[in-house]
Amino acid sequence: MSRKSLREEIVNAAVEQFHARGFNAAGVKDITDSAGVPKGSFYNHFVSKEALAVVALERYGESRRLPELIDASVDPLLRLRQHFEFLRDENTGRGYSRGCLIGGFGTEMADHSDVIREAVRVSLERWAQALAAPIAQAQESGQVTAATDAGALARFILNAWEGTLISARSEHSEASYEVFFDTVFGTLLA
């Protein structure tokens, strides 16, 4: 079996280190040590830690299962619920020790790095668009009222999700998730 490329090992380690520690606390040496590669190899693949952070955000976004949100063979509201259940279970499985890398970078770096701020903006926009697809389908089928634009609902739900993650981490309980699911699926999209 061939070994992953050094670049891939660095990216995978960066996602893990950034998600566990944040941008500022995860140094290049921490990332390369975690990847098991020499520190000098980092600079063969990335011009800066910021450049690596952008790639790490893209990789993290790929792990959010966004393509499943457009699978028309599954009921749109079920798809949406399953998406957030997966994310909830992922967080609770880590003992509430991490939130969302996208939201984390948004709160930690948006005021300090235009490059990372833009990558966060793009990541959130991509996610909101993916969430809007099943909402629009539910509106078209009459499951959800069409009184509010699907894109606006998606953005609101995404913002509520990011806040839910912060609350769940601070409380170390599922109470915030219960409020999120009850409000989103019991009221907003009922």
Confidence band of 3 (pLDDT split at 50, 70, 90): low
Pick from 150, 44, 60, 161: nearest CA to 105? 60
CATH architecture of structural domain 6-58: Orthogonal Bundle (1.10)
- Indicate the class that CATH gives domain 66-188: mainly alpha
pLDDT, tens digit, 9 for 90 and up, residues 35-76: 999 999 999 999 999 999 999 999 999 999 999 999 999 999
% of the chain surpassing 90 pLDDT: 95
Helical (H) or strand (E) element with 16: helix 6-21
Domain ranges of the chain: 6-58, 66-188
Of all helices (H) and strands (E), which one includes residue 159? helix 150-171
- Under 8 Å CB-to-CB from 44, ≥6 apart: which residues? 6
pLDDT tens-digit map of 82-111: 999 999 999 999 999 899 999 999 999 999
Phi-psi sector, 96: left (phi>0), alpha (psi -120 to 50), beta:
left
